Structure 1
Amino acid sequence: MASVLLEFTLSILLLLATPGPTNTLMALAGYQRSWRRAAPLIGAELCGYLLVIIPVATLAASLFEEWPQLALWTKLLAGLWVLYLAVKLWSFKSGAGEARAVDARSVLVTTCLNPKALIIGLVIMPHQGLAALLPWLSLFSALVLAAANGWIAFGTLLSKGMLKRASPAVISRAAAAGLFVFVMILAGASLKGLA
């Protein structure tokens, strides 16, 4: 059991530490707001993950196994949402004041569409009933809390460090570029799977 627990923890931490759309938004929120004011967004991230993982781990895993094209179309939909966020961040106008603040709705929707949630629900999370999943979901929630705090702290440190003089437009465009790279990777994998 200890080795299964360790494998689960390391797998989740590896996924949560990997840059992606949710982590980009959390780091940007830390940059824009400071750690203390961005920390409430962690609740939106956790809700987004759980809204996907619970149904996938308990119900949809067999559906995706039966119809793999459905999983690919879900990834394409996620890619479109992340592309939308990237365009919004890129189109920031420097004369318009502060960059548009990352809000809970953006974090929630982005996390729901984040392919990491599907990977966790389909591959890492045990496929059992909800009662049997509760201990795993509790550990997962603690790991999300730790990782999200790390990304927010990273953004906060950037705002106080070497990039302190960078304008909100530059930071928004850097975040948009990161999201765009993620979209290209996701779209490439999805289109390859559709071929």
Structure 2
Amino acid sequence: MGVTIEFAAAALSLLLVPGPTNTLLAASGALRGFRASLPLIAAEVGGYMASICALLAVFGSGAAQRPTLTLTLKAAAALWLCSCALKLWREARQDLAIADEPAGFGRLFVATLLNPKALIFAFVIAPTAGLAGAAPWLAALCAMIAAAGLCWIALGAWLGSSSGPGLAPGLIRRAAALVLLAFAGALASSAVAAL
């Protein structure tokens, strides 16, 4: 199956919507700058590809009819986002020079691996042919993931540089922590509603 305009529009729309991965990318751009945050694009692409390919390989396109799987994945993602939010909140009290980066490679990879957008890619946007016929759209998706990630890093870097001294690293970390906590709450509430 080739890449269609509908697929590209749906994928880009989903990738540009604020979410946990995009929040971490923007926070990194604001705190570390555009160039220093570029390696995180590989973590984002790798996280999405690992999740999507695993979901397609193990469950196939019929997994959307398995509510227990979706519930379990949402609960795991909510717990991970709470953990990331707590760590960012604690780091807000530290000086930028001694704090961990806002989103290290591993943290961003796992946040993306558990990002609920991967479920939508695997079970809604993916071609029904399964993993075997997915190579063309997976390649296109990798390019779109990288482009969207660059946009979020650039937005964060612009916000970090244009705000002057008023936007302290601690404030950026706390804002990112609150956004991640909101996403975790939304995931948890949708999982509870599905029970």
How does the TM-score come out when normalised to structure 1?
A: 0.91
Aligned length: 192
Q: CA deviation at 1:164?
A: 4.6
Change in CA separation of 1:68 and 1:27 when aligned onto 2, cut-off 3 Å: same
Name 2:192's counterpart in structure 1: 191
AA in 1 matched with 2:6: E
Contact 2:62/2:123, CA 8 A, preserved across alignment: no
Deviation at 1:34, TM superposition (A): 1.1
Does residue 100 in structure 1 map to residue 100 in structure 2? yes
Aligned 8 A contact 1:57 1:128 in 2: no
Sort the Cα spacing of 1:104 and 1:120 in 2 relative to 1 into closer, same or farther, 3 A.
Answer: same
- 2:32 aligned partner: 33
Matches within 5 A, 1:40-119: 40-61=39-60, 64-65=63-64, 67-94=66-93, 96-98=94-96, 99-101=99-101, 102-119=103-120
Deviations 1:72-97 (A, max 9, x none): 11111100000110111112253x31
Q: Per-residue CA shift, 1:124-169, capped at 9, x if unaligned?
A: 0113254421110111011001100000000100111125531111
1:170 aligns with 2:168: no
Contact residue 33 and residue 157 of structure 2 kept, 8 A: yes
Partner of 1:156: 157
Q: What code does the residue aligned with 1:78 have?
A: A
Runs of 4+ in 1 over 4 A off after TM superposition: none
Q: Identity of aligned pairs, percent?
A: 40
Cα shift at 1:33:
1.4
Distance in 2 separating the partners of 1:91 and 1:37? 22
- The aligned amino acid for 1:117 is A
Name the TM-score, length of structure 2 as normaliser.
Answer: 0.91
Distance 1:87 1:42 in 2: 23
* One-letter amino acid matched to 2:100: R
CA distance in 2: counterparts of 1:147 and 1:65, whole angstroms: 26
Q: In angstroms, what is the RMSD of aligned CA positions?
A: 1.9
* Counterpart residue identity of residue 42, structure 2: G
Distance (whole Å) between structure 2 residues aligned to residue 69 and residue 78 of structure 1: 14
> In the alignment, what sits opposite 2:14?
15
126-135 vs 39-48, which moves further: 126-135
C-alpha distance in 2, partners of 1:66/1:149?
A: 34
CA pair 177-104 structure 1, distance change in 2 beyond 3 A: same
Match of 1:128, SS state, is coil
Unaligned runs of 5+ in 1: none
- Shift of the 135–80 alpha-carbon distance from structure 1 to 2, 3 Å rule, reads same
Deviations 1:10-37 (A, max 9, x none): 1111111111110011001111211111
